[in-house]
Amino acid sequence: MTVAPPAPAPARRHRPPDPRAHLSHRLAERGIDRTLWLLLPGVVFLVALFIYPLAYGLGLSFQPLKSTDPLYNYKQFFTDHLQRDTIGTTLRISLPAALVNVIASVPIAYRMRGRMRGKRFITTMLVIPITLGTVLTADGMLKFFDPAGGWFNKTLFALHIRTPDQPVLLINNYWGVVISLIISGFPFAFLLILSYLSGIDPSLDAAASTLGASPRRRFWQITFPLLAPGLAITFCLTFVLAFSVFPSAYLVGNPTSTTRVISIAAYEARSVETNDSKASTIALIMAVIELLVISVVLFGRGRLYRGSTGGKG
C-alpha cells in the first residue's frame, strides 16, 4: 500500500472569481429588485379591501341559515330556475353592451387618434356621461323615451314613422337597460381605446402606406393587431361594469322578469330575505362568472402580440 502524497492545500487567500453574476443581478433578472416596494400600497389595499372581504364572504356562503349542508345555498341557487336564470339574463344584457361599447369606440377613436381640430371638444362631449351617473341617465331616459310624451316617440309620430298607439318601447324593458349601459360604459371604452391608439406609432401606418397598403388593409393588418390586446382589456372592464348593473336594471328595466339580473337576486337575498349567507353565495357566483368571461378573453389576448407598439405610449 502506498500512501498518496498529500494534495497541496488550495491557496485560500485569493477567492477565485465567481463566474456567476452578482446576486443582485441574478435577482434582477428574475424581476426582484427594489422597485418591488412600489407594489406595497397596492398589496395593502388588495388584502384589506379584496382578500379579506372575499374570504369572509366565502366563509359566510358555506354557513346557510336553513340547513346544515354547507353547499345548500349553492344547490339552492342552481335548482331554483328563478335564481339560475338571472345568470343568463345578466349575460344577455352585459355582453352585448360591452361589445357595442368597444366596437363603437374603435372607429371614433381611430378617426381622432392624430391631431385634429376640435378634438378636445368632442372628447369632452363623449365623456360627459361619466359625470352624470346611472341614476341621472336613467331619469333622462325615462323622460326622453317615454312612450306617450317623450321627445323620441313624439318625433317618430310627427315623422309618421309610428302611430301613437304603437310607440317604440325603449324603457322598462331589456332595451332600456342595454341603452343605459351603453351610455354609461361608452366613455370608459372610448377613452381607453383612444389612449391605446395614440400609443401606436403613426409612422407604422405611414410605412404601410408607402408599401402600397390601402387604408382598409392598414387598419386590419397594422393598427388592429396592435390594438387588439387593448380592446380585450377594454372589453373586460366594460363587461365588469355592465355585469354588476343594478340601478339601471331597476330604473329603466323590467326588474321582475326580463331584466332580473343577478345583482337584483343578491340584493333581494340580503335586503328582503335578510339572508346574508345566501346573498354571499350569489355574490360569489357572480364573481366566478365574471372571472370565467375575463379568463376566456384574456386567454385569447395571450395569443396576440403584446410587445411595444413603438408609440409615445
> Which is nearer to another protein, 24 or 203 (by Cβ)?
203
Residue in the structure block whose three cell numbers are 321582475: 256
Spatial distance between the Cα atoms of 160 and 211, rounded to a whole number of angstroms: 51
Q: Applying CB under 8 A, which of residues 49, 103, 207, 291 lies at the interface with another protein?
A: 207
Residue 208 CB, nearest distance to another protein (Å)? 7
Contacts for 104 with CB less than 8 Å, ≥ 6 apart = 182, 186, 189
Q: Applying CB under 8 A, which of residues 208, 231, 242, 245 lies at the interface with another protein?
A: 208
Q: Is 204 in the site for another protein (CB under 8 A)?
A: yes
Q: What are the φ and ψ backbone dihedral angles of 51, each rounded to 5 degrees?
A: -60, -50
**CA nearest 189: which of 306, 304, 97?**
97
Spatial distance between the Cα atoms of 37 and 309, rounded to a whole number of angstroms: 28
Residue 310 CB, nearest distance to another protein (Å)? 6
The window from 66-74, 180-188, 233-241, 305-313 that contacts another protein (CB under 8 A) reads 305-313
The four Cα atoms 66, 69, 74, 78 give a dihedral, to 10 degrees, of -90
Spatial distance between the Cα atoms of 225 and 84, rounded to a whole number of angstroms: 38
The window from 67-75, 181-189, 215-223, 258-266 that contacts another protein (CB under 8 A) reads 215-223
Contact status, residue 251 vs residue 136, Cβ threshold 8 Å: no
Residue 121 CB, nearest distance to another protein (Å)? 20
The window from 138-146, 158-166, 201-209, 240-248 that contacts another protein (CB under 8 A) reads 201-209
Count of helices and strands (H, E) across the chain: 15, 0
Contact status, residue 198 vs residue 115, Cβ threshold 8 Å: no
Q: Applying CB under 8 A, which of residues 211, 303, 312, 313 lies at the interface with another protein?
A: 211
> Which is nearer to another protein, 83 or 309 (by Cβ)?
309
Contact status, residue 77 vs residue 282, Cβ threshold 8 Å: yes
Contact status, residue 126 vs residue 255, Cβ threshold 8 Å: no
Q: Which of residues 226-245 bind another protein (CB under 8 A)?
A: 226
> Which is nearer to another protein, 226 or 266 (by Cβ)?
226
The window from 47-55, 175-183, 188-196, 217-225 that contacts another protein (CB under 8 A) reads 217-225
> Which is nearer to another protein, 60 or 226 (by Cβ)?
226
Q: Applying CB under 8 A, which of residues 217, 271, 295, 296 lies at the interface with another protein?
A: 217
Judged by the rule CB under 8 A, the positions of this chain that interact with another protein are: 201, 203-204, 206-214, 217, 221-222, 225-226, 305, 307-310
